[in-house]
Copies of this chain bind each other. A is one copy, B any other.
Amino acid sequence: MIVVTTVDDLRTALRDRAGRSVGFVPTMGALHRGHLELLHRARAENDVVVLSVFVNPAQFNDPADLAAYPRTDEADRAHAEQAGVDIYFAPTAEAVYPPGFSATVALSGPIVETFEGARRGAGHFHGVTTVVTKLFGMVRPDRAYFGQKDAQQLRVVRAMVADLNIDVRIVDVPTVREPDGLALSSRNVRLSADERATALGLSRALTAGEAAHRRGVTAAEIVLAAELVLSEFGVNPEYLAVVDDADFRQLHEVPPPGSVLIVAAEVGRTRLIDNVVLT
């Protein structure tokens, strides 16, 4: 595994591997089994695997949140090496945003304004689309891997790639869960034992929503079924909705296959999100 920190060194490393297919996994580090799943998929489908580790200041609206974001560089490298990563790209903020930088890549509409967009501010997804466009420019991957866990981010990236005609295939990888259903997240470590039990309400609520969907009911009824389970667990959702697969617009009718049931909630002081695709 080669470790590079500048765009020039990354390009040199990629030039040495020209003509081979490139799979790319962009992350903010603090790698857990969810990320490893992305890496395994990339490793299976490509000649060359590139992992980027970059805590992107542009997608944090709260400087304290940015400062508190976990950095586990040494462990990340060990995980990456074990997962068969060829190029580990960990640029500095200055390498990504040099002096004079002024570009923004922005989408508009519900896909960036609702749910996580509303919660984190309009700038959040602009920060995501700008940095992902840049990373795609640097790496020029054939395939890029995103977790279904961040459902809205995945769809924002898909829309951006379509809108800007970027020639990369976006591969989404199912959420990795604990045996009892809890979706993996770097934030789970912050949960106390009691909170851990409460947090289970999210995935259980999604399962109830899925079951309701199989009975052919409307989005409103799916949400109601999920809400019931959340309240049994004592979870008060920040949002709970069925949304369109492409543009993340909230649905109220009987949802077509591919629609997504999404939930966000604070459990203690930890904000958790989860979702399930209604097939």
Decide yes or no whether A217 CB sits under 8 A from chain B: no
| B residues in contact with A103, CB < 8 Å | 105-107, 129, 159-160, 163-164
A121 CA to B134 CA, complexed, in Å: 26
Closest to A14 in B: B167
| B residues in contact with A246, CB < 8 Å | 100
| B residues in contact with A160, CB < 8 Å | 103
Nearest Cβ on chain B to A130's Cβ, whole angstroms: 8
Inter-chain contact A167/B137, CB cutoff 8 Å: yes
Nearest Cβ on chain B to A250's Cβ, whole angstroms: 17
Decide yes or no whether A104 CB sits under 8 A from chain B: yes
A106 CA to B140 CA, complexed, in Å: 21
Decide yes or no whether A66 CB sits under 8 A from chain B: no
* Contact A106:B107 (CB < 8 A) given known A134-B165, A137-B165, A164-B133: no
A167 CA to B164 CA, complexed, in Å: 15
Contact with B along A84-113 (1 / 0, CB 8 A): 000000000000000011111111110100
Inter-chain contact A105/B164, CB cutoff 8 Å: yes
Contact with B along A125-165 (1 / 0, CB 8 A): 00001000111011010000000000000000001100111
| B residues in contact with A102, CB < 8 Å | 107-109, 111, 159, 163
A105 CA to B129 CA, complexed, in Å: 10
Closest to A140 in B: B167
Closest to A11 in B: B167
| B residues in contact with A163, CB < 8 Å | 101-103, 134
Question: Apart from A133-B164, A137-B165, what 20 extra A-B contacts exist at CB < 8 Å?
Answer: A100-B246, A102-B107, A102-B108, A102-B111, A102-B159, A103-B106, A103-B159, A103-B160, A103-B163, A103-B164, A104-B106, A104-B107, A104-B108, A105-B105, A105-B164, A106-B106, A133-B133, A134-B165, A135-B165, A137-B167
28 of the cross-chain contacts (CB-CB < 8 Å) are: A11-B167, A19-B19, A100-B246, A100-B247, A102-B107, A102-B108, A102-B111, A102-B159, A102-B163, A103-B105, A103-B106, A103-B160, A103-B164, A104-B104, A104-B105, A104-B108, A105-B133, A106-B106, A133-B133, A134-B165, A135-B165, A137-B164, A137-B165, A137-B166, A137-B167, A138-B165, A138-B167, A140-B167
